[in-house]
Structure 1
């Protein structure tokens, strides 16, 4: 069984020019959430600091504001397609890692509650996650750092990489 995903369209970096002085945009795409509250354009982008040569990237996503050319990662769509949105983002992440096998992706919710929601969904659908994908959770308290994802522990962020 797999979860349904949205069709994505890869984008260039022209919409992110304001950020290009301090960020490298390694990948950018969009897709549309379609549900009970309407259609919304979502953007996914994978970035790292400019001239940063390490293999760590940041995964960001949210609703695109075409007037301001910004991504809102706090808005709640409540469009009835949350799992399809997360499945699409997971697929994008896995595709990026497969194309960049030495890379690691850092992901964190815009709020602690959202991070817990993502963790709950990862745990719920663990059986669908490819065996070659490693997922670590970050514990900031007492500088524990990243440990392998485990149920029953609240994590502050996640790090994904291939085995």
Structure 2
């Protein structure tokens, strides 16, 4: 993925990444966390992403920053997924947006980079009608799982 992306700080022992979005709304701290949500029969980590809220000392995944750098932000998030899976090749990453439109945005980006993703030894499945299916362009999914091919 040759998309322009932000440089990020990585804290591997905490499965934590942070970077700063820069645009007309200023410089905004973004956080990506990977949290274990399932161990058996295999490990699945949830991808959590949002703006850092100083007041709450927590991540806000509902805020719409609109800093006019959406593609760069999404490319940065995608790069952390690749980095996380490179460091943990035996796990899967679960992703679902905090809203339906954000999940759709994830899907549009998976579709846009589908050739690179599928050529790079990754398997992506989408959740639809209460079952996991191989990812296909043009199908609306509710969530996604990505893992390295074994």
Same fold flag (TM > 0.5) = yes
The structure 1 residue matched to 2:51, chosen from 63, 81, 90, is: 63
Query: What SS does structure 1 have at the residue aligned with 2:15?
Result: strand
- Give the Cα separation in 1 of the matches to 2:79 and 2:14: 16
Q: Of 70, 75, 79, which residue of structure 2 is paired with 1:87?
A: 75
What are the ranges of 5 or more consecutive residues in structure 1 without an aligned counterpart? 13-24
2:22 corresponds to 1:10: no
The CA deviation at 1:131 is 2.2
Q: TM-score, normalised by structure 1?
A: 0.83
In 1: Cα distance, 2:115 partner to 2:4 partner: 15
8 Å CA contact 2:96, 2:103 repeated in 1: yes
From 24, 31, 51, the equivalent of 2:19 is: 31
Whole-angstrom distance in 1 between the partners of 2:30 and 2:116: 23
Q: How many residues align?
A: 147
Q: 1:90 to 1:96 in 2, by over 3 A?
A: same
Q: SS in structure 1 opposite 2:5?
A: coil
User: How big is the shift at 1:68?
Assistant: 1.1
Report Cα offsets for 1:63-103 as digits up to 9, x if no partner: 00122111111111111111111111111111111111110
1:20 is matched with none
Partner of 1:45: 33
Among 130, 135, 146, the residue aligned to 1:160? 146
How many angstroms does 1:48 deviate by? 1.3
* Structure 2 residue ranges without an equivalent (≥5): none
Instruction: Give the structure-2-normalised TM-score.
Output: 0.89
Report the alpha carbon displacement of residue 44 of structure 1 after superposing the two structures with TM: 0.4
Conservation of the 8 A alpha-carbon contact between 2:124 and 2:147: yes
Deviation at 1:128?
3.4
Q: Are the structure 2 counterparts of residues 146 and 49 from structure 1 closer, same or farther at C-alpha, using a change threshold of 3 Å?
A: closer
In structure 2, how many angstroms separate the alpha carbons of the residues matched to 1:124 and 1:48?
Answer: 28
Which residue does 2:126 correspond to in 1?
Answer: 137
Report the alpha carbon displacement of residue 162 of structure 1 after superposing the two structures with TM.
0.3
RMSD across aligned C-alpha pairs, in angstroms? 1.9
Which structure would you say has the larger Rg?
Answer: 1
